[in-house]
Structure 1
Amino acid sequence: MPAVRPSAVKTPASSAPLRSGVSRPAIWRVMEIHKIIRTGRHPNCSTLAREIEVTPKTIQRDITFMRDQLDLPLEYHPVKHGYFYTRPVTEFPMLHLSRSDLVALFLARHALEPLRGTRLERMLSASFSKIAEACPGEVSIQWHELDDAFSVKAAGVLAADVTLFGDLLDAIRATREVTFDYHKLTGSQPESRTVQPHHVGQIEHGWYLIAHDPARKAMRTFALQRISHLRLLKSRFVRNASFNARDHLGGGFGVWSYADDASRRHEVRIRFEGYAARVVAERQWHPSQIIEKLNPDGSLVEFRATLSGLEELTRWILSWGSKARVLEPPELKKRVQQEVAGMVA
């Protein structure tokens, strides 16, 4: 039977819940309604009001907000007399963040640098990650814990960095092309680029722009610190609806993307021992990773992953020194051997 939206849901006054005197923030109520509806119970305004301890009128306003402002597929079932989702909702759309909100997030991320590796950083990072998830199409943050044995010297955030970050957000939201000078790591001098910005993300403690480069007919990743003379153009572009930052970077082991060669696959196997085995087993290094303990105390593990490229993985393996041993593939073995030979030379 097709679902319909009722123009109003009348609730007898006698069914109104007793107010407990406890304040219920709007976002808390909306999240509670979302969780209850996902159970498939088809709750109505009266049952939701009793569970959340507010009035049915408040619930009706929340329902309208969820449907009209958050664009949730919320409908009222005329037979079961309750609300339900017409399609699966796996991620809850948070409130839209303004440019100033996102710039504040950018500054706060840098402010936490002195706390990196501490328990407080881990606690705060979870909260900031939830905020960042409110705008997955615009900005993202990846938090990687470091051992307490390591420290990072805190660096200030330049005004130019904040301006660049904010201007890129404006371009992404307005789907406007941008032009800038970019200094590649392998280049002797900056070169001019005109691109269509899709996403700004914090990856491996650095900020990067992911944009479509029409001249190269592909998505490209740019380090913000190597971008200069940014200008927003009047020309608009149509955002690629299928673009997803996580998928774009999923084939690599860090910032490098291999989306243009997604068919290429390397089945990686690395054995770690000692402290390296324990540290590797504690973290999520790549979405495809599988970590198998080879002895009871966890001092010997095997790391497995499926990657499209090996460049950044090679550097990661070298960082563990003699505690890492490459098992597969042969190409990765050769890369590591060549690097070590070059270091010895």
Structure 2
Amino acid sequence: MAEEIEVTPKTIQRDISFMRDQLGLPLEYHPIKHGYFYTQEVHEFPMLQLSRNDLAAQFPARHALEPLRGTRLERMPSESFSKIAETCPGEVSIARHELDEDFSVKAAGVLAADVTLFGDLLDAIRANREVSFDYPKLTGCKPETRTVRPHHVDQIEHGWYLLAFDLERGAMRTFALQRITHLTMLKSKFTREVGFNARDHLGGGFGVWSYTGDQRRKHEVLIRFEGYAARVVAERQLHPTQAIRKLKPDGSVIEFQADLSGLEEITRWILSWGSKAKVLGPAELKTRVQEELRAMLRTAE
């Protein structure tokens, strides 16, 4: 059984013990057949013992599905949520509108045109089927036809992105769903890239961009923030490697440090803080920020 459902024998043993001791199911060991059996008929498992707080915890996730309302991607988790609610003991009573007044999730930048892509890409990922689509680069206007092996769809910085192996470029690439058109699921199937992990793929950058080959270099970024910017930055986990050091006890001045594989997105992020941010290193990042500021001054004249 352990081999069939890909867990350890100890996990199976713990589950059997839980069913017998915690759920009170009539399980006994058969000394001749060397397995467990029911000593009497069991028509259904006991109901889940969910508290009001357990049920409430599901609501933020339900609200997060609002951008996908009306699609099969919204229906699947919603149906599961309803099943969980139905299994609650009779003494647990809660009205959805009560929690709707307490929880809300801001729309995550999903456009109406994206919802069909969600379903089609989900089908392709689960079936390990290659897809092709037209896609324009940020620096170009004319779309190019790309043939890829889709691995993962992720929400990053209020947008949705496809992580896929680009056959022509021979490497993993990141595609914004908003720029994908004419998606076609191909008949050809593929085997997922060994060791692929979405977090590792994006972890070196500071957002959506992933850096490969000569672009991927380690940059130890150090930025000083002051005032409201210091407090906001210190309150958030912006990168897995980040470290925050308070330069003033009240937190009004801090140093932000992170190890990044590229500097494109961190440059724009620094500029968004205006005079409240000062680059301490590396020198290349200082130069990038200075050049962009000069260019902004020229366009403002």
For Structure 1 versus Structure 2, the TM-score category normalised by the shorter chain is 0.5 to 0.7
In the TM superposition, residue 271 of structure 1 has moved relative to its aligned partner by 0.5
In structure 1, distance between residues paired with 2:147 and 2:15 = 52
In structure 1, distance between residues paired with 2:180 and 2:192 = 22
Q: Aligned to 1:269, what secondary structure does the other structure show? A: strand
1:77-120 deviation line (CA, Å, top 9, x unaligned): xxxxxxxxxxxxxxxxxxxxxxx76444899xxxxxxxxxx983
- The 5 A counterparts of 1:23-102 are 45-46=16-17, 49-50=20-21, 52-55=22-25, 57=27, 102=73
In the TM superposition, residue 44 of structure 1 has moved relative to its aligned partner by 8.0
Candidates 192, 206, 212, aligned match of 1:253: 206
* Structure 1 unaligned regions, length at least 5: 6-33, 62-99, 108-117, 125-151
Q: Percent identity?
A: 62
In the TM superposition, residue 48 of structure 1 has moved relative to its aligned partner by 6.6
Q: Which residue of 2 aligns with 1:222?
A: 175
In structure 2, distance between residues paired with 1:103 and 1:320 = 36
In structure 2, distance between residues paired with 1:236 and 1:103 = 27
1:97-146 deviation line (CA, Å, top 9, x unaligned): xxx76444899xxxxxxxxxx9834xx6xxxxxxxxxxxxxxxxxxxxxx
Distance 1:258 1:49, change over 3 A: same
In structure 1, distance between residues paired with 2:74 and 2:144 = 27
Q: Aligned to 1:202, what secondary structure does the other structure show? A: strand
Candidates 188, 208, 217, aligned match of 2:161: 208
**Counterpart residue identity of residue 54, structure 1:** G
Distance 1:301 1:165, change over 3 A: same
- The 5 A counterparts of 1:67-146 are 102-104=73-75, 120-121=103-104
Is structure 2 residue 289 aligned with structure 1 residue 342?
no
In the TM superposition, residue 337 of structure 1 has moved relative to its aligned partner by 0.5
Candidates 298, 321, 325, aligned match of 2:251: 298
In structure 2, distance between residues paired with 1:325 and 1:196 = 41
Distance 1:53 1:170, change over 3 A: closer
Distance 1:297 1:104, change over 3 A: farther
Is structure 2 residue 224 aligned with structure 1 residue 241?
no
Q: Which residue of 2 aligns with 1:161?
A: 114
Q: Which residue of 1 aligns with 2:146?
A: 193
Distance 1:103 1:237, change over 3 A: farther
**Counterpart residue identity of residue 140, structure 2:** G
1:210-240 deviation line (CA, Å, top 9, x unaligned): 1111111111111000000000000111111
Is structure 2 residue 300 aligned with structure 1 residue 317?
no
In structure 2, distance between residues paired with 1:337 and 1:252 = 21
Q: 1:183·1:189 contact (CA, 8 Å) conserved in 2?
A: yes
In the TM superposition, residue 245 of structure 1 has moved relative to its aligned partner by 0.5
Q: 1:103·1:162 contact (CA, 8 Å) conserved in 2?
A: no
In structure 1, distance between residues paired with 2:189 and 2:15 = 44
Candidates 196, 206, 220, aligned match of 1:267: 220
In the TM superposition, residue 166 of structure 1 has moved relative to its aligned partner by 0.6
1:169-189 deviation line (CA, Å, top 9, x unaligned): 111111111111102111121
Distance 1:203 1:104, change over 3 A: farther
**Counterpart residue identity of residue 213, structure 1:** D
Q: TM-score, normalised by structure 2?
A: 0.68
In structure 2, distance between residues paired with 1:208 and 1:295 = 39
Q: Aligned to 1:264, what secondary structure does the other structure show? A: coil
**Counterpart residue identity of residue 24, structure 2:** V
Q: Aligned residue pairs: how many?
A: 229
Distance 1:342 1:278, change over 3 A: same
Q: Aligned to 1:168, what secondary structure does the other structure show? A: helix
Distance 1:53 1:179, change over 3 A: closer
**Counterpart residue identity of residue 335, structure 1:** R
Q: Which residue of 1 aligns with 2:55?
A: none
Q: TM-score, normalised by structure 1?
A: 0.60
